[in-house]
Amino acid sequence: MRTEQQSFANKNIFATGAAETSYDPRDVVIGVSPATGKDIWVTLSGLSLADAISEVLAGLEEEGCTGRIVRINDSLDLGMIGLTAARLSGSGVSVGLQAKGTALIHRRDLAPLANLELYSVAPTITRELYRMMGINAGRHAKGATPEPVRNPYSDEAIEARYHTKVVSLVAIERECVNSNGPEVMELR
């Protein structure tokens, strides 16, 4: 899995420095997991992380919000990634994104596992769903009512089909966890 991911490595997403808390009420942080832009480049759905993040940013922009990408280095737990990102966000709202593709919307006053919206089945998440997540995060940030999006239904038993890949990606992710603070990321 590591070799496969490295074949997609590129310089389209990279760290630029330490992240700070924003006070702009239109700011929504996209918190990404530690392996993003280091060792994992493609989600389980086959979409590149750069494309997934671009769609979230486009959705935020459609709602008049600004997106900021921040790599959360000290946890691979999606709830903590989202909560940490929300605490850095001027609006108090964030999108958390694990490198494997699982994503959520979080708010700074919630417990780590009490998110606003969750896309839990990474292999089924499309560009359109990432864009909708950005739109809904923007609506939450503005105090508007989002249109909840359901995870795509499939009668296919995807758990068994993707289990080995998920375990491998989590192992790669775990190796990237460190005590460095959150880092601002740029996307080309």
Residue 68's identity, in one-letter code, is R
Q: Which helix (H) or strand (E) holds 119?
A: strand 117-119
pLDDT in tens, 145-159: 999 888 776 656 566
CA neighbor of 71 nearest in space, from 102, 43, 98: 98
User: Is 105 among the domain residues?
Assistant: yes
Torsions phi, psi of 144, nearest 5?
-85, 175
Instruction: Give me the CATH number covering residue 41.
Output: 3.40.50.10150
Closest CA to 136 of 95, 101, 98, 108: 95
- Amino acid identity at 62: E
pLDDT, residue 1, reads 84
Q: Looking at the domain assignment, is residue 113 inside a domain?
A: yes
pTM listed for this prediction: 0.94
What DSSP character marks residue 146? P
Do 97 and 114 touch, CB atoms closer than 8 A?
no
Helix axes 127-142, 49-62, angle to 10 degrees: 40
Number of domains in the chain: 1
Which parts of the chain fold into alpha helices (H)? Answer: 2-6, 49-62, 78-88, 127-142, 158-176
Residue 151 lies in a domain: no
Please name the amino acid found at residue 112.
Answer: P
Q: Is residue 77 part of a domain?
A: yes
Does residue 6 register a pLDDT over 80? yes
Q: What are the tens digits of pLDDT across the range 53-98?
A: 999 999 999 999 999 999 999 999 999 999 999 999 999 999 999 9
Residue 161 has pLDDT above 80, yes or no: no
Q: Residue 69: which domain range? A: 2-146+156-187
Q: Give residue-wise pLDDT tens across range 19-63.
A: 999 999 999 999 999 999 999 999 999 999 999 999 999 999 999
